Structure formats: structure tokens, C-alpha cells
Chains A and B, each alone.
Chain A
Amino acid sequence: NAGVTQTPKFRVLKTGQSMTLLCAQDMNHEYMYWYRQDPGMGLRLIHYSVGEGTTAKGEVPDGYNVSRLKKQNFLLGLESAAPSQTSVYFCASSYSGGAADTQYFGPGTRLTVL
């Protein structure tokens, strides 16, 4: 049982390039989330999904797109990367998304946009 995994662990992009971050969970969780972590800002929710085939915007969705084609995977895309998107990205999942549910986090992806 690997929990929540993320690929890649590190990536450097040039401004304007695109990339996709992959999150996978093997806990059969319905809800999945993408956060970004910036120094002194805590974690901010980018997008989330309440189930296969559904996605919703979080607090800071601009410049990102997501897809949840399979229950166990949640992809985060950057179509045209900008230096402001330099951050550490964390994926999380939870069983039901309810207030009583714990979110489990992946190890993170450190992205640098030059």
C-alpha cells in the first residue's frame, strides 16, 4: 500500500513550456486535491475532485488545469508555465471529503520555472 504518490519529484521548466504532474493513490479514495506550497503562505488549494470524471476550482486555479479520468489518478497540468508557478506541489486524497475525513498527502513535486 503506497498511499499517495507523485511524479516527478523535481522539474525545471522554461517560461512557456507545458507539463503534467501525476498523482496516484491506492486507497480507493473518492476525493483528491492539488495544493501549492509557497514560503510563508502555507498550502493553497488549486483544484480538487470529488470523484472520477469531476473536478472543481479551489482557491488559486488560474494557470492550471486538472483531469480525473480514473479514480486513482489526478493530473495537474500547466499549459504555459510562468515563474510565478515556481512552487512545491502537493497532492492529497481523502475517502469521502467530509469534514470528519483526514486528507493524506503525497511527497510533493518541486517545480522551478525559469
Chain B
Amino acid sequence: AQSVSQHNHHVILSEAASLELGCNYSYGGTVNLFWYVQYPGQHLQLLLKYFSGDPLVKGIKGFEAEFIKSKFSFNLRKPSVQWSDTAEYFCAVILYGNNRLAFGKGNQVVVIP
């Protein structure tokens, strides 16, 4: 079955540490990829997205993600996290020609001051 996998559901790190969250998908066709963030008590917000072109995508708040087609991956990175990055992060994939977004189970990230 088609799926979106996110590993290491709970991540705890200190401020200024680097963050990398993995996302793998199992769709075989052309895909568009998203990372959403949900801050405590808030709704989901788009962090960044990839449709085509440069596989290294830069988003808001210093986040970036790299699409590696051969690995079916779209990993999210931030070189130096802040306490305000404490949130849940969701990877989402939509198959080209489809209209249904599939979400991973999320990564709960806690940044300790």
C-alpha cells in the first residue's frame, strides 16, 4: 500500500543543535511533497513544498528539505534550532494526478532552552 513514513516520532534536542527529520514515501509515480508544522495549540501551517526544479527547497524560519528521487525521500533540516521550533512536523505527499494528500504520522520535536 502507498504510504508516507516518518521515523523517530519523538525528538528532543538542545537549542543550537541541528535537526534532521526523515520522510520516505512509497508512491511510484510523480509526486509533490510538503512539510507542515503544527505549533502547540495551533493549526497546521505550510513550512515548505516541492513541486519541481531544484531538489533543495528552502522554507520559512530557516528550514530546508531535499528531495532525493532515487531514495523516495524528502528530509527536513535546520542547522540550528531554537526553542520556538518546538512543534509537531508532518510530511505529506500527493501523487500527481490525484487530489488526496497523504500524511506521515508526524515528528514531535521538543527543543530545550
The residues of A with any CB-CB pair to B shorter than 8 Å are 31, 33, 35, 40-45, 48, 50, 58, 90, 92, 97-100, 102-108
Contact = CB atoms under 8 A, between A and B. Distances in A.
Contacts of B103: 35, 42-44
27 contacts: A33-B101, A35-B103, A40-B105, A40-B106, A42-B103, A42-B105, A42-B106, A43-B90, A43-B103, A44-B103, A45-B100, A48-B100, A50-B99, A90-B43, A90-B44, A92-B44, A99-B94, A99-B96, A99-B97, A99-B98, A100-B32, A100-B51, A102-B49, A104-B46, A105-B36, A105-B44, A107-B43
Interface of B: 4, 6, 9, 30-32, 34, 36, 42-46, 49, 51, 90, 94-101, 103-106
B41 to A, nearest CB: 9
A99 B95 contact: yes
Nearest to A31: B99
Contacts of A90: 43-44
A73 to B, nearest CB: 18
A58 B100 contact: yes
Given A42-B4, A99-B97, A99-B99, 10 more contacts: A31-B99, A42-B105, A42-B106, A50-B99, A90-B44, A99-B51, A102-B46, A105-B44, A105-B45, A106-B43
B109 to A, nearest CB: 15
A45 B106 contact: no
A6 to B, nearest CB: 9
B90 A98 contact: no
A97 B99 CA distance: 5
A45 B96 CA distance: 18
Nearest to B101: A103
Contacts of B90: 42-43
Nearest to B106: A42
Nearest to B100: A45
Nearest to B49: A102
Contacts of B100: 45, 48, 58
Contacts of A107: 42-43
Max count, chain A CB within 10 A of own CB: residue among B30, B43, B100: B43
